[in-house]
Structure 1
Amino acid sequence: MSVSNPTLITFVIYIAAMVLIGFMAYRSTNNLSDYILGGRSLGSVVTALSAGASDMSGWLLMGLPGAIYMSGLSESWIAIGLIVGAYLNWLFVAGRLRVQTEHNGDALTLPDYFSSRFEDNSGLLRIISAVVILVFFTIYCASGIVAGARLFESTFGMSYETALWAGAAATIAYTFVGGFLAVSWTDTVQATLMIFALILTPVIVLIATGGFDTTFAAIELKDAGNFDMLKGTTFIGIISLMGWGLGYFGQPHILARFMAADSVKSIAKARRISMTWMILCLVGTCAVGFFGIAYFSAHPEVAGPVTENHERVFIELAKLLFNPWIAGVLLSAILAAVMSTLSCQLLVCSSALTEDFYKTFLRKGASQMELVWVGRAMVLLVAVVAILIASNPENRVLGLVSYAWAGFGAAFGPVVLISVLWKGMTRDGALAGILVGAITVVVWKHFSIWGLYEIIPGFILGALAIYFVSKAGSPSKGMVSRFEAADEAFKAAH
């Protein structure tokens, strides 16, 4: 690998720019609220694009195109489920959560919000929700590190072990230094880069394979079933893929963007921007995988790396079809997808450890700068554990993501959704929802019952547990009055 390699130079410039943004954000970070939520100062564009970029991790440019390349359009049900779920999350949760967190002790984290919303003085709700965050997010962080390692491994010919550390180092650097503002500002740059790559690449692949007619004929020749959205699927299979959309209600790294918006009025505009960005990205990523079938069947001599690992379809197309400088920019988009998600996951883990364990149980009187530095130390700790999990080269990005996504969707999704819509929810109901949701995911995954994606039974049973346990008790007058005041504020803003 020569130092004049244009892709390497592009990567280095890109990573340097992200770390520079981290240092700029460092100067705006004065207390823990700044480090964890950027002082609730995000405008609608940054809220929209950082929510999108933090959601769409390495699987957007690796896992999903790879699945479509292997199986055809029948894998696109996952994209449809995600679009529906994300829209409903923006519609029902985003604005209400922004107002509810402010009315409930100006909560900075989800465990913080649950504690204040349900007047949990025992600390039990805070501890259990923080533990769920740490367990599932560490697995989620590992998926990002695997995606980064795959990128460095195939682009620069590094060994998997070296690529693992190289891919993680840059993200850890700017998250460590700049906190939430760095993560949100870099996310906005990264979201722009991702959409550029996902609109340009399928267009160039289409031109290289001779236009729509030739491309579709080649895909049909390879396997006519590639066009069939029901090929090889079952009712349970489609429900499982669509079920990914349920996960949005419980993802702490996406919900943090709603909590950090400068006002509830920014949310409607942010929703429109974010959904447009998301739909364009998902259509682009499906097109990359789909058109890739035609390209590699016409050029079998270069199909080796993709045959070996189908998650490399975007990487190989970028390297084969573009000038090395442009390829460097496009491959930086994968790095952008990985870094944007990994950075906010590291930050959510760090904030759970700092705000919900250290400050609450160990050092109640800790100064703001002490808490910021503890937060930074926790970023390093979580990153090291995630790297150790990711060190198995057999890991697949989509497999790791699906487990973590289900864990959050089932444990927190029903609790967040019902807590912003129903004033009759109680603390015991919230506890039951988190425990039943999380345990169902672990047990269902272990026994893989009926081949149904574990998020669906987890979400349904968690929601039922909340309803029945809440009905057995009743919320305090304080909980009801705070809920009503927040609800009034939400309605007044619309």
Structure 2
Amino acid sequence: MSVSNPTLITFVIYIAAMVLIGFMAYRSTNNLSDYILGGRSLGSVVTALSAGASDMSGWLLMGLPGAIYMSGLSESWIAIGLIVGAYLNWLFVAGRLRVQTEHNGDALTLPDYFSSRFEDKSGLLRIISAVVILVFFTIYCASGIVAGARLFESTFGMSYETALWAGAAATIAYTFVGGFLAVSWTDTVQATLMIFALLLTPIIVLLATGGIDTTFLAIEAQDPSNFDMLKNTTFIGVISLMGWGLGYFGQPHILARFMAADSVKSIANARRISMTWMILCLGGTVAVGFFGIAYFSAHPAVAMPVSENHERVFIELAKILFNPWVAGVLLSAILAAVMSTLSCQLLVCSSALTEDFYKTFLRKSASQVELVWVGRAMVLLVALIAIAMAANPENRVLGLVSYAWAGFGAAFGPVVLISVIWKNMTRNGALAGILVGAITVIVWKHFELLGLYEIIPGFIFASLAIYIVSKMGAPTSGMLSRFAAAEKDFRLNQ
């Protein structure tokens, strides 16, 4: 690996820019609210692009293109489900959660919101939800670190062990220093880089394979069923892929963007920006994997790396088809996807440990400066645990992401969604929803029942548990009045 390597130089410049943004954000971070929620100051553009970038991760440029490359368009049901789920999340949850968290103790984290919304004096709701965040997010962080390691391994010929640390170091640095503002500002840059890469790459692949007609003929010649949306799948298979969309309602790193918006008025514009970005990115991702089938069937001599690991299809196309300097920018988009999601996840874990454990149970009188530094220490702790979990080079990005996504979607999704639209939900209903959702995902995953993605039964059973248990009790007058005030605020300002 030469220091004159254009890709290496591009990576170094990109990483340096992200760390610089971290230090700029450091100067605006004065208290815990600034560190974990940016002082609720995000405008619509940053809210939109940060929500998108924090969502997609390395899965967008590695996991999904690889799945499309291997199986054809039948894997694109995931993208359709995600688009529907994300839109409904923006429509029903985003604005309401923004006002509900403000009316319920100006909550900074989801456990904080649950505790205030349902007047949980025991702390049980806060503890259980914080534990769910730490368990599933540590798995999710590990998936990001695996994706980063794969990128450095294949781009620079590093060993997996070295690549593991190289891929994680920059993200840890700017998250540690700048907190939420650094994460949100870098997300905006990273989202721009990702959409550039995903719009440009499929166009160049099409040109390299002789245009759209020639490309489609080559894909059909390789296997006509690549065009079949129902290839090797069943009704349960399609429902499972579409079920990914349910996960949006419960992802803490995405919900934190809604909570951090400067006002409800920003949400509608943010929704339009975010959905446009998402549709273009997912369309580009599917196109990269699909057109890659034609390219590598026509160029078998360079297909070996993709045959060994189909998640490298975007990486190999970028390296083969582009000038090394442009390839460096495109490959930086993978790093952007990995860093944007990993940084958000590290910060949410840090927030749970700092706000929901340290401040609540250990040091109620801790100063803001102390809490910020505890938050930074927790970023390092969670990162080290995730790196240890990612140490197995046999890990696959999509498998790790699907488990964590289901865990959050089922444990938190119904609780968040129902808590912002139904005034009669109770504390015991919320507790039942979180426990039933999380346990269902773990059990269903272990036994692989019916071949159905575990998020679907988890979401359904958790929703039923919330309704049934809430009907057994009644919300307090304080809960009802805060809900009504927040709903009125939302309707007046949306």
- What is the TM-score normalised by the length of structure 2? 1.00
Q: Report the equivalent of 2:336.
A: 336
d(CA) in 2 for partners of 1:42, 1:144: 25
1:365 is the counterpart of 2:372: no
State the shift of 1:124 in Å: 0.2
Q: Report the equivalent of 1:254.
A: 254
Q: Report the equivalent of 1:56.
A: 56
**Deviation digits for residues 398-450 of structure 1, max 9, x if unmatched?**
00000000000000000000000000000000000000000000000000001
1:27 is the counterpart of 2:27: yes
Q: Report the equivalent of 1:411.
A: 411
Q: Report the equivalent of 2:429.
A: 429
Q: Report the equivalent of 1:101.
A: 101
Alignment of 1:160-239 (within 5 A): 160-239=160-239
d(CA) in 2 for partners of 1:82, 1:337: 17
d(CA) in 1 for partners of 2:118, 2:215: 57
Q: Which amino acid aligns with 1:363?
A: R
- Which aligned segments of 4 or more residues in structure 1 are displaced greater than 6 angstroms? none
- What is the TM-score normalised by the length of structure 1? 1.00
Q: Which amino acid aligns with 1:201?
A: T
d(CA) in 2 for partners of 1:216, 1:84: 27
Q: Which amino acid aligns with 1:100?
A: Q
Q: Which amino acid aligns with 1:237?
A: G
Q: Report the equivalent of 1:308.
A: 308
d(CA) in 2 for partners of 1:294, 1:288: 10
Q: Report the equivalent of 1:159.
A: 159
Q: Percent identity?
A: 90
State the shift of 1:354 in Å: 0.1
State the shift of 1:110 in Å: 0.1
**Deviation digits for residues 333-372 of structure 1, max 9, x if unmatched?**
0000000000000000000000000000000000000000
SS in 2 for 1:346: helix
State the shift of 1:326 in Å: 0.1
SS in 2 for 1:105: coil
Q: Report the equivalent of 2:117.
A: 117
SS in 2 for 1:120: coil
**Deviation digits for residues 444-476 of structure 1, max 9, x if unmatched?**
000000110000000000000000000000000
* Count of residues in Structure 1 that have an aligned counterpart in Structure 2: 494
1:378 is the counterpart of 2:378: yes
- Structure 2, unaligned runs of 5 or more: none
State the shift of 1:486 in Å: 0.2
Q: Report the equivalent of 2:299.
A: 299
State the shift of 1:196 in Å: 0.1
**Deviation digits for residues 230-272 of structure 1, max 9, x if unmatched?**
1111000000000000000000000000000000000000000
SS in 1 for 2:364: coil
Q: Report the equivalent of 1:47.
A: 47
d(CA) in 1 for partners of 2:450, 2:374: 44
Q: Report the equivalent of 1:146.
A: 146
d(CA) in 1 for partners of 2:17, 2:491: 41
State the shift of 1:201 in Å: 0.1
d(CA) in 1 for partners of 2:235, 2:126: 38
Q: Report the equivalent of 2:272.
A: 272
d(CA) in 1 for partners of 2:433, 2:73: 35
State the shift of 1:278 in Å: 0.1
SS in 2 for 1:311: helix
Q: Report the equivalent of 1:69.
A: 69
d(CA) in 2 for partners of 1:10, 1:212: 31
State the shift of 1:323 in Å: 0.1
d(CA) in 2 for partners of 1:335, 1:2: 20
**Deviation digits for residues 153-173 of structure 1, max 9, x if unmatched?**
000000000000000000000
d(CA) in 2 for partners of 1:245, 1:213: 32
State the shift of 1:116 in Å: 0.2
**Deviation digits for residues 260-313 of structure 1, max 9, x if unmatched?**
000000000000000000000000000000000000000000000000000000
- Structure 1, unaligned runs of 5 or more: none
Q: Report the equivalent of 2:137.
A: 137
Q: Which amino acid aligns with 1:19?
A: V
**Deviation digits for residues 164-195 of structure 1, max 9, x if unmatched?**
00000000000000000000000000000000
SS in 2 for 1:360: helix
**Deviation digits for residues 13-48 of structure 1, max 9, x if unmatched?**
000000000000000000000000000000000000
